[in-house]
Amino acid sequence: MSIRIAPSILSANFAALGEEIAMVEQAGAHLLHVDVMDGHFVPNITIGPPVVKSLRKVTKLPLDVHLMISDPDKYIPAFVDAGADMLTVHSEATVHLDRTLNLIRSHKVGVGVSINPATPLSMVEHALALADMLLIMSVNPGFGGQQFIPYCLEKIRRARQTIEERRYQCVIEVDGGIDIDNLPDVVRAGAGVVVAGAAIFKASDPARKIKEMLEIAAPLGYHSTYA
């Protein structure tokens, strides 16, 4: 599987979301990354199921919904009904991660689990058996446009190694502070999906930026037999 780019709409123009999304879809983006924040798990509030439902109507791209919310189990059915294709929860936000991941699975959508920069990989090592995607945060969740935290690269490499050794069917997504300068490191470390918000939507030519990212990432992609 070659590298996929997931633009994060957090940095898009919310007054013109439809046009912004059409533009990234046209430019070759693979997924649409939707950041849901509750003002409790993270110090910011963004969007909820009604917006996801509206997005579902204007794009064919899979909706990769990143839930930065406490007690995610309560809201999983609403996001599934709204049209999410993949639901990612934070391991730090649920007491019974195994139960939460199984709940997502029971709704027949993609299962993602995320860890904050300071959370060790060991926290989810076993639960990865239940996940389609591991989302490694490379900034503290809550805001777009932050600086990439370099020690996360080692975590990506170790995650890649664990996934290979255990033959898990789990792709690694990396989220936060990614642009042209650090993209090669992130991809070489083992990312299969790269999220980019500010790098794309704050660029003078966002479509060109996506194409540039794809050109840089494609030849460096980690080719795994498993994910």
- Give me the active site residues, please: 35, 175
Q: How far apart are CA 61 and CA 107, in angstroms?
A: 19
Q: Which of 139, 172, 174, 194 binds ligand DX5 (CB under 6 A)?
A: 139
Ranges within 172-201 binding Zn ion (CB under 5 A): 175
Tell me if 196 contacts ligand DX5 by CB under 6 A: yes
159 within 8 A of 171, measured Cβ to Cβ: no
Q: Cite the DSSP H helix spans in the chain.
A: 17-27, 49-58, 76-82, 97-106, 152-166, 183-189, 198-201, 206-217
Beta bridge partners of 208: none
CA angle 165, 128, 6 (to 5 degrees): 105
- Say whether residue 24 binds ligand DX5 (CB under 6 A): no
For residues 111 and 200, which CB has a smaller minimum distance to ligand DX5 in the complex? 200
Contact 198, 144 (CB under 8 A): yes
Which range binds Zn ion by CB under 5 A, 21-29, 33-41, 79-87, 198-206?
33-41
49 vs 112, beta carbon nearer ligand DX5: 112
Q: Does 35 bind Zn ion (CB under 5 A)?
A: yes
Of residues 67 and 227, the one with the C-beta less far from ligand DX5: 67
Tell me if 27 contacts ligand DX5 by CB under 6 A. Answer: no
Q: 94-97 — which CB contacts under 8 Å span 24+ positions?
A: 97/124, 97/127
Which of the residues 140 through 159 are near ligand DX5 (CB under 6 A)? 141-146
Q: Report in angstroms how near the CB of residue 107 gets to ligand DX5 at its nearest.
A: 22
* Cβ at position 227, least distance to ligand DX5 in Å: 21
The span from the CA of 83 to the CA of 160, in Å, is 29
Residues near Zn ion, by CB under 5 A: 35, 66, 175
